[in-house]
Amino acid sequence: MPLSMAMASIGTESAFDVMARAAVLKREGRDIIDLSIGQSDFRTPENVVEAGVKALRDGKHYYTPTVGIPELREAVAHDILARKNVEVSPENVVIVPGGKVTMFFAIQMFSEPGAEILYPNPGFPIYESLINFTGGKAVPIPILEENGFAFSADTILERLTPQSRLLILNSPANPTGGVSSKEELDKLVAGLEKFPNLHILSDEIYSRMLYDGYEHISPLQYASIRERTIVLDGWSKTYSMGGWRLGYGLWPKHLVEHAARLAINTHSCVSSVAQYAGIEALLGPQDEVERAMRAFAERREVVVSGLNEIDGIHCHHPLGAFYAFANVKNLGQECRVIQKRILEEGGVATVPGTSFGSFGEGYIRLSYANSFENIREAVKRIAMVVA
C-alpha cells in the first residue's frame, strides 16, 4: 500500500525505543534500571488528583471549547504573570494534549519547501523530525559542552537568512540540562531586530526545574519580540502529570486563530478532567513541586559525582531539567555502542546522544528522575561495564 512521501521522513523519539527494549529484558527476568525516559518518578500531587476525581463526579464528561475551558486559560495567564512578570491575555492561551502539540502546530504553520527552521542540536528529537516531515529545511544550532550546553547568540545569528521562518529555543534543555543566560538572550534579541519576520518557539516545559539559584528567562519577557514569540509549556514535568496529557501554547494574537483551527482538525479538545486538574495544579499548593525539586537537586549531585569518578567519562553539571548528558568520548566507541553495552551487559537503560542529533555523538543521556538507590546502583553498573 503506497504511503505519502512525507512518511519516509518522519522520525521517532528514541527514549521510547530504549524503554521498550528495557521492558523486553525485564520480561526475560533481567534486573533493569531505567534511566532512559524523561518522566518524573513522583506521583501527581494528591490535591491535583482529587480535583480530577471531583470533575468526574461532578459530571465534567463532555466536550470542552477547542482552545480550553476559560478557567484554565485564565489560570495559565495568572501563572505567567506570577512567574515571568508578563501580563498576557487568556485569549492567547490554547490548551492542548501535551507539549508536542504546540510544537507541531508552530512548525506546521511556518514549515514548507524553501523555509528554514532553526533548532537546537543536540535537542529534543521531535524538532528535527517534524521539520523534515512538514517539508522545511532543518538548520541545526550546535549546542556545545564548551558553552555549558547553552546556546550561543552569535552561532544562531550567523545562521539566519531571509528564508528563516522559525527559531526554536529550549531552556532548560533536553537532553543536556543546559540553561541559557540572560546575556546571551539579550544579544540574541538585539540581533533579531534585523529579522522582523522570524518567529520564535520557546520550549519552556522545564522552566520550573532550575538549580543553583538560576532563574528562567523567557523570550516573552522582551517587548521587542513578544508579538512573535510562541511559548510551549505544560504540566507533565513540573507536576508529574505525563499521563494526563495536558499542555498549552501561548500564541501571539495573530496566530491564535490558526492554532485553534489546527486543534479543531486534530484533537477537537482536551480531556475535561485533565483541565480541571490543571487548574488545581497551577493555583493550588506548590509544596509537592518544591519537594520534588529538592530531591532532583540531590540526585543530580549523586549521578554527576558518580559518573565523574569513572575513568573515561566526564559529566557536566546540568543547571536545569532532570538529565545528565555524560561525555563518553574517551571510551573510544560510538555512543550507540556504549549505550547498548550499558543496557545489555549492565542492565542500565540510557539514551545515546545521537538520538538527539548529530552533535550528540560522544554522549549518553541519563534521567535522574529515579530513586537514590537506583541511581547509585546504576552508576556502579556503568563503571563495571566500561572498566
Domain ranges of the chain: 5-43+287-386, 62-283
Structure confidence by residue, pLDDT tens digits, 317-337: 999 999 999 999 999 999 999
CATH numeric code, 62-283: 3.40.640.10
Would you state the CATH architecture of domain 5-43+287-386? Alpha-Beta Complex (3.90)
Q: What is the pLDDT of residue 240?
A: 97
pLDDT tier at 1, thresholds 50, 70, 90: low
Q: Helix, strand, coil % (nearest 5) of the chain?
A: 50, 15, 35
Cell of 238: 513540573
When pLDDT is averaged across residues 218-238 and rounded to a whole number, the result is: 98
Give exposure, 79-103, as e/b (b: 16+ Cβ within 10 Å).
Answer: bbeeebebebebebbbbbbbbbbbb
Cell of 136: 522545511
H helix runs in 70-228, sequence order? 70-84, 99-110, 125-133, 153-157, 182-191
Look at residue 261 and tell me whether its pLDDT is greater than 90. Answer: yes
Give exposure, 330-344, as e/b (b: 16+ Cβ within 10 Å).
Answer: ebeebbbebbbbbbe
Between helix 46-57 and helix 272-283 the angle, nearest 10°, is 140
CA 124, chain centre distance (Å): 6
Look at residue 37 and tell me whether its pLDDT is greater than 90. Answer: no
Cell of 333: 566507541
When pLDDT is averaged across residues 151-179 and rounded to a whole number, the result is: 98
Structure confidence by residue, pLDDT tens digits, 134-147: 999 999 999 999 99
pLDDT tier at 25, thresholds 50, 70, 90: confident
| Element of type H or E holding 301 | helix 287-308
Structure confidence by residue, pLDDT tens digits, 183-210: 999 999 999 999 999 999 999 999 999 9
From the list 250, 217, 228, the residue with the least C-alpha distance to 88 is 250
* Domains 5-43+287-386 and 62-283 in one fold: no
C-alpha 7/C-alpha 341 separation (Å) is: 31
C-alpha 282/C-alpha 291 separation (Å) is: 16
